[in-house]
Structure 1
Amino acid sequence: MIFGGLDARLDEVPGTISVYAGPLGAPPTWTRHAEATHYAASTMKLAVLAALHRASETGGSSLDTPIEVTNCFTSARPDAAPFSCARQYDNDGVVWERLGQQAPLWWLAERMIVRSSNLATNLLIEHVGLPAVAEIWARAGARHSVTGRGIEDFAAREAGISNLVTAADLAALLGAVATGATRAGPIASPAGCAAMLDVLCAQQIRQDIAEGLPAGTRLAHKNGWVRGVRHGAAVVFPDDNAPYLLVVCTTTPLGDDRRSEDVDVDSRQLVADISAQVWQARHDLTAARTPPPAPRSPEC
């Protein structure tokens, strides 16, 4: 077993560590608790991105359409008042600088991914609607993942409405974007899938999976974290091998004897370590597999 030693090491890590690793368009080579659910953190933005592209191609607004940048959103809890998100918890101040102005949908989608903008995410969810995001998960064949609310919709959270992912479902969604195909049909057109890959390759928060790869390695990825949760989901494009999928989801208990900052650093390093070991085994990972090509090779 290629990753037997790594599996044994992960057995000693507290919490739930889920992994999906394998070539595009083929069954995975290694999985570990890949169907376990985790709080999604910012990985849910992958489904929002796909929902926006699909909507634009099926009669919705063009990606060039400008919308007002506001900080007032409809709660997923039907009886709740509108909610807003906090600037201090957002990784991207650029979108906040446009409050009261207009911005095109494509630009908001880019900021949602490359800087993980929470404000842009809520604006796009408000625009496409949560049912459109749910349709993306369904088309990708996701079994357990759900995007039930926007970011910082605390009324919905208190009502038990959450955002959940599994490593397997994130891999299915990323694979659908990278190959342009699912059993239910394409997520978006080849051009749309290629555009999504370009945005994911432009990721500026190059942590987690990216930190376990040699400098300059091309990858299309999205990560996400909150207290006790650290995830990374990527398509990796080695120069010397076929591309592969790697998704790592970690949920770590926060004990009284450990600061959340320490847990986050440890989890980030763990994801990077897993990525490094999968990279070392990349030739075995994709051996005897012939995955279909991506819509086009991204220039990351």
Structure 2
Amino acid sequence: MLSVVVAPWADNAEPVFVRNPDVLHDAASTMKVAVLAALWRNGVNLAADVPVVNRFESAVGGEFGNNQDYDSDPLPWELLGTHVPLSLLAERMITHSSNLATNLCLSRTTPQAVADVWRRAGATRSCTPRGIEDYAARAAGVNNVVSARDLVRLLHSLAEEPELLGLLEENDFRVDLAAGLPPGTRIAFKNGWITGARHCVGLVHPRDCPPYLLAVCYTGPLASGADRTDPAARLLARVSAAVWRRRHDIHPFP
């Protein structure tokens, strides 16, 4: 299943192209944008030192932990047993898609705060009710899900928070949407990948026309779950390149 939404950045970001925009996909790491916004908007002290642990409360009771072999970022694991600024964990959650950092960030906010981020964005189907690798919750049917339309709405909701968009520009995994753009093109984006799914949402800043939003969600056998060599990443790059070629049709100059 391939879902695509293209929209101008200006005004209400109404889509100019959609394909399966409201189909739900496993959120993978795209939900980390909502977690970041929840931290930012709810007065959490990002400068505070927090303990780096690997035990978290499950959404259905009990505890769970992350698997280091399933994480794309080794740094937080090297910091286990220490205290670090929450801002460092928030940064690694976005730039290196750290699962451990994400659950540590989630533990410093509330499910309601994350739900409020989606609500404020105008999302109609997406939600983040549990942490990453909370398998007991997943078995109970508690799932993080997104649609391409809601991802565009989520990114557009950050319009008045340039600090968050700036952090998204530092994303290190530039193998899907970013790979379909000319070298040096600015893009604030977050991707996510698991076996069977690869997604990305981005704000693209061409030099020759206004910026635009693009979300692509793919669920299917092409997605290997690899962070940088996933064949599905190349599919997303081709979609990104095709949209780039039509960028002047998204929101042309008057």
Interval containing the TM-score (normalised by the shorter chain)? over 0.9
Q: Distance in 1 between matches of 2:173 and 2:40?
A: 22
Quick check: 1:18 aligned with 2:3? yes
Once the 2 structures are TM-superposed, how far is the Cα of residue 288 of structure 1 from its aligned partner?
Answer: 5.9
> What residue identity is the alignment partner of 2:104?
L
- For the aligned residue pairs, the C-alpha RMSD in angstroms reads 1.6
**What secondary structure sits across from 1:247 in the alignment?**
strand
Determine the structure 2 residue equivalent to 1:277: 242
Q: Counterpart of 2:153? A: 172
Q: Distance in 1 between matches of 2:2 and 2:90?
A: 29
Sort the Cα spacing of 1:260 and 1:218 in 2 relative to 1 into closer, same or farther, 3 A: closer
| Residue 287 of structure 1: how far off its partner (Å) | 2.3
Partner in structure 2 of residue 143 of structure 1:
124
What residue number does 1:99 align with?
Answer: 80
Question: 1:42 matched to which residue of 2?
Answer: 29
Name the counterpart of 2:55. Answer: 72
Partners of 2:223 and 2:232 within 8 A in 1: no
Whether 1:234 aligns to 2:202 is: yes
Secondary structure of 1:95's partner?
Answer: helix
Q: Which residue of 2 aligns with 1:62?
A: 45
The count of residues paired between Structure 1 and Structure 2 equals 250
The CA deviation string for residues 145-204 of structure 1, in whole angstroms up to 9 with x for no partner, is: 010110111110110100000001010010111x22xxxxxxxxxxxx111011100111
Q: Could you tell me how far apart the structure 2 residues matched to 1:226 and 1:259 are?
A: 7
In the alignment, structure 1 residue 219 sits paired with structure 2 residue 200 = no
Q: Structure 2: give runs of 5+ residues left out of the alignment.
A: none
Shift of 1:261: 6.8
Distance 1:22 1:156 in 2: 34
Q: Any residues of structure 2 matched to 1:73-88 within 5 Å, and which? A: 73-78=56-61, 81-88=62-69
What's the CA shift for 1:266? 3.3
Q: Could you tell me how far apart the structure 2 residues matched to 1:113 and 1:133 are?
A: 16
How many Å separate the matches in 2 of 1:62 and 1:261? 34
User: Aligned match of 2:174 in 203, 206, 222?
Assistant: 206
- The TM-score with structure 2 as length reference comes to 0.94
* 1:108 paired residue among 75, 89, 93: 89
In 2, Cα distance between equivalents of 1:70 and 1:261: 25
- Report which of the two structures shows the higher radius of gyration computed on alpha carbons: 1
Q: TM (normalized to structure 1)? A: 0.80
Provide the rounded CA distance (Å) in 2 between the counterparts of 1:238 and 1:118.
31
What code does the residue aligned with 1:281 have? R
Which AA in structure 2 matches 1:201?
Answer: E
For the residue of structure 2 that corresponds to 1:146, the secondary structure is: coil
Mapping of residues 248-263 of structure 1, within 5 Å: 248-252=216-220, 254=221, 260=224
Pair 259,39 (structure 1): closer, same or farther in 2 beyond 3 Å:
closer
Give yes or no for contact 2:96–2:172 (8 Å, CA) kept in 1: yes
Letter in 2 for 1:48: V
1:77 Cα shift?
Answer: 0.6
Aligned-partner Cα distance in 2 for 1:45–1:150: 10
Distance 1:102 1:247 in 2: 36
Q: Which runs of 5+ in 1 are unaligned?
A: 1-15, 181-192, 290-300
| Cα distance in 2 for residues equivalent to 1:259 and 1:173 | 24
Which deviates more from structure 2 when the two are superposed, residues 124-133 or residues 160-169?
124-133
**In 2, Cα distance between equivalents of 1:157 and 1:42:** 15
Q: Distance in 1 between matches of 2:15 and 2:250?
A: 9
1:238-278 alpha-carbon deviations (Å, 9 max, x no partner): 111101000000111x4xxx89479x843211110000010
